């Protein structure tokens, strides 16, 4: 069968929001302490931020950064993390059963964001916290009036408001593992009241409701209650997921084809959630847009708290990163925000040791997508060779998405070749317009799907960059087995 990828530059899905390339840093294991912040390290700057990690993160071009959790936030007191460090209390924290020293807090995080060039996205405690604490934190960060909280911020050395635009109300409130787990009704009520006072405190903020992380029960009811009771106070419905090559998070244990078939779960979740929001906006006559934020996503299935979630990623996980990013691009009309969980050490693209750093396999697709994606998602049509699993028949080997950058006159085509052993040649055809002749191909691959990057052998999986030749209305490209490829074509 011939493989064809057809692009119509006028057939768009709408804007691709760069915020889908966001990150997430939680007080968990070595993400903050020993990851982004390690005073005394030879790699640290004068504020204790690790310069090697900052440089690697800059390559990922993340427009926003979620903080401080995660499960951690459901027991967090933001006041513990501001003011003179020697006065900050160490606390027992019950999300990850660790001692939190609080030497890194709100202002250190904002400083980190400013150095990195990313917008902070703070989650408030809707676990064992209350709405007073949440709105106080917002006032501390964004307030401009002559109030005690603004004076407090100024006394900590920050005269200008932090202007934090993105705020999440709680984390994974649907999970029994959460401190302060809430039933659908309890959370809808709590969200409404938190959101009301937070928007009164600063009407310019954007709010995220914790919608679903456990995809097994009550997520439809949760959406229904939230949009019924607080629809006009919700900017984003926050979804979480973690994929894995196992029967718990996917279809089967250690089965490559089944793992790669997870594209179907991703599409099912996003399509059904889009439909749900659409139905509930109609039913509740909501005028405001309500978008999807997948504010935790990644591969996570091997490690637990004992290993501090220091997952070691292989090539097939890098393909899974490509599948997830393709899903966001194909659902760009509704998915306007997403956060890879997390950024350093904890289920992360970057791993550190005291003396060194390694870029994991999943670093590379994220970097290529975030640096090459255009501002508009295309409704790409493709056909070709297929594979089947016990659960799915006739899935296309190639998983494809595409974007357009009309200013720069470039079209980017993202392809995950899910075949273990087959090169797949495909045409890339333009319905109208012409390729200008040149372009670049970025290929992420390694010797086999289990290849990992280690401190001793850091280049098992990396990105190879080639030039492209493409003139006229059609080009041909051969996609390597088990690879992620971005083709960035110049348009005439
Ligand atoms: O990212 C790790 C954890 O995964 C987060 O703390 C939690 O929100 C999710 O269960």
> Of ligand 1's atoms, which has the minimum distance to the CA of residue 242?
4
For residue 465, the model assigns a pLDDT of 98
Q: How many residues does the chain have?
A: 492
- Ligand 1 nearest atom to the CA of residue 171, by list position: 8
Please report the atom of ligand 1 found closest to the CA of residue 96. 6
Helix (H) or strand (E) holding 436: strand 435-445
Q: Is the CB of 340 under 6 A from ligand 1?
A: no
Q: Does residue 171's CB lie within 6 angstroms of at least one atom of ligand 1?
A: yes
- Going by alpha carbons, the residue nearest to atom 7 of ligand 1 is 70
- Asked if residue 70 has its Cβ within 6 Å of ligand 1, the reply is yes
Q: Is 311 in the pocket of ligand 1 (CB under 6 A)?
A: no
Nearest alpha carbon, ligand 1 atom 2: 70
- Is 341's C-beta closer than 6 angstroms to any atom of ligand 1? yes
- Choose the residue to mutate in 35, 71, 340 for probing ligand 1, maximizing ligand atoms within 8 Å of C-beta: 71
Please give the number of the atom of ligand 1 that sits closest to the Cα of 342. 1
Q: Whose CA is nearest to atom 3 of ligand 1?
A: 70
Q: Is 485 in the pocket of ligand 1 (CB under 6 A)?
A: no
Task: Report the nearest-CA residue for atom 4 of ligand 1.
Answer: 70
Q: How much is the pLDDT for 432?
A: 87
Distances (CA, A) of 338 to 90, 307, 341: 31, 25, 9
Q: Which helix (H) or strand (E) holds 55?
A: helix 51-60
Q: Note the pLDDT of residue 165.
A: 98
Q: Which of 35, 213, 341, 343 to mutate to test the pocket of ligand 1 (most atoms within 8 A of CB)?
A: 341
Is the C-beta atom of 296 inside 6 A of ligand 1? yes
The helix or strand, by DSSP H or E, that contains position 222, with its residue range, turns out to be helix 219-230
What six digits make up the tokens of 110?
Answer: 């904002």
Residues 6+ positions from 340 with CB-CB distance below 8 Å: 22, 23, 24, 297, 298, 321, 349, 362, 366
| Residue among 240, 295, 338, 344 whose CB has most ligand 1 atoms within 8 A, to mutate | 240
- All structural domains of the chain: 4-8+378-491 (2.60.40.1180), 17-372 (3.20.20.80)
- Nearest atom within ligand 1 for CA of residue 341: 1
Whether the Cβ atoms of residue 474 and residue 430 lie closer than 8 Å to each other:
yes
* Torsion angle in degrees (nearest 10) through CA of 310, 242, 177, 192: 130
Query: Mean pLDDT in each 10-residue stretch from start to end of the chain (492 residues)?
Result: 94 97 98 97 96 98 98 98 98 97 98 98 98 98 98 98 98 98 98 98 98 95 98 98 96 97 97 98 98 98 96 98 98 98 98 96 98 98 98 98 96 98 98 93 98 98 96 96 98 95
Straight-line distance from the first to the last Cα atom of the chain, in angstroms, rounded to the nearest whole number: 30
**Atom 5, ligand 1: residue with shortest CA distance:** 70
Q: Which of 25, 168, 171, 214 to mutate to test the pocket of ligand 1 (most atoms within 8 A of CB)?
A: 171
- pLDDT number for residue 1: 72
Instruction: Please work out whether the CB of residue 102 comes within 6 Å of at least one atom of ligand 1.
Output: no
Task: Write the secondary structure of 320-357 as one string of H (helix), E (strand) and C (coil).
Answer: HHHHHHHHHHHCCCCEEEEEECCCECCCCCEEECCCCE
User: CA 463 to CA 442: how far, in whole Å?
Assistant: 6
Give the C-alpha separation, 461 to 295, whole Å.
26
**Rounded to whole angstroms, how far apart are CA atoms 297 and 117?**
22
342 ligand 1 Cβ < 6 A: yes
Which of the residues 93, 133, 296, 429 is marked catalytic?
296
Angle at 188 between CA 187 and CA 191, to 5 degrees: 80
Q: Are 151 and 98 within 8 A, CB to CB?
A: no
172 is catalytic: yes
Q: Please report the pLDDT score of residue 209 as a whole number.
A: 98
Contact predicate 24/343, CB 8 Å: yes
26 C-alpha to center of ligand 1: Å? 8
Q: Is the CB of 238 under 6 A from ligand 1?
A: no
CA 69 to centroid of ligand 1, rounded, Å: 7
Give the pLDDT of residue 289.
98
């Amino acid at each position: 069968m011939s493989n064809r990828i057809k692009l119509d530059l006028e057939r768009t899905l709408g804007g691709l929001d760069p915020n889908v390339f966001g990150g997430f840093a939680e007080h968990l294991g070595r993400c903050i302490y020993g990851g982004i912040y390690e005073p005394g390290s030879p790699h640290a700057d004068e504020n204790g931020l690790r310069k090697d990690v900052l440089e690697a993160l800059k390559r990922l071009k993340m427009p926003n950064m979620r903080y401080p959790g995660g499960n951690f936030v459901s027991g967090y007191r933001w006041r513990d993390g501001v003011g003179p460090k020697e006065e900050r209390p160490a606390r027992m924290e019950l999300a990850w059963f660790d001692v939190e020293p609080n030497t890194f807090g709100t202002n250190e995080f904002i400083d980190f964001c400013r150095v990195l060039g990313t917008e902070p996205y703070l989650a408030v405690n809707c676990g064992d916290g209350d709405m007073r604490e949440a709105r106080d934190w917002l006032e501390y960060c964004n307030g401009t009036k002559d109030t005690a909280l603004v004076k407090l911020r100024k006394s900590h050395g920050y005269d200008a408001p932090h202007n934090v635009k993105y705020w999440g109300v709680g984390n994974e409130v649907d999970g029994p593992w959460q401190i302060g787990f809430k039933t659908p009704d309890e959370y809808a009520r709590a969200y409404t009241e938190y959101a009301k006072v937070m928007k009164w405190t600063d009407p310019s903020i954007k709010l995220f409701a914790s919608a679903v992380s456990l995809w097994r029960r009550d997520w439809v009811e949760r959406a229904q209650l939230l949009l019924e009771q607080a629809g006009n106070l919700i900017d984003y419905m926050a979804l979480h997921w973690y994929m894995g090559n196992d029967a718990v998070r996917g279809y089967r244990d250690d089965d490559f084809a089944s793992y790669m078939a997870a594209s179907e779960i991703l599409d099912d979740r996003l399509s059904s959630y889009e439909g749900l929001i659409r139905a509930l906006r109609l039913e509740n006559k909501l005028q405001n847009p309500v978008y999807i934020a997948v504010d935790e996503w990644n591969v996570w299935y091997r490690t637990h708290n004992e290993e501090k979630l220091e997952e070691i990623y292989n090539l097939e996980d890098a393909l899974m990163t490509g599948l997830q990013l393709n899903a966001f691009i194909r659902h760009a009309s509704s998915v306007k925000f997403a956060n890879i969980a997390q950024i350093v050490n904890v289920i992360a693209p970057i791993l550190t040791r005291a003396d060194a750093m390694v870029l994991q396999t999943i670093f590379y697709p994220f970097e290529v997508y975030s640096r090459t994606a255009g501002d508009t998602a295309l409704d790409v049509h493709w056909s070709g060779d297929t594979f089947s699993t016990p659960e799915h028949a006739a899935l296309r080997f190639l998983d494809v998405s595409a974007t357009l950058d009309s200013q720069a006159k470039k079209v980017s085509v993202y392809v995950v070749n899910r075949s273990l052993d087959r090169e797949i040649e495909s045409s890339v055809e333009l319905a109208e317009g012409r390729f200008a002749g040149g372009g670049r191909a970025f290929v992420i691959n390694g010797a086999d799907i289990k290849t990992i990057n280690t401190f001793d052998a850091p280049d098992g999986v990396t990105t190879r960059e080639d030039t492209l030749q493409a003139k006229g209305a059609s080009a041909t490209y051969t996609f390597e087995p088990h690879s992620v490829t971005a083709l960035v074509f110049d348009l005439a």
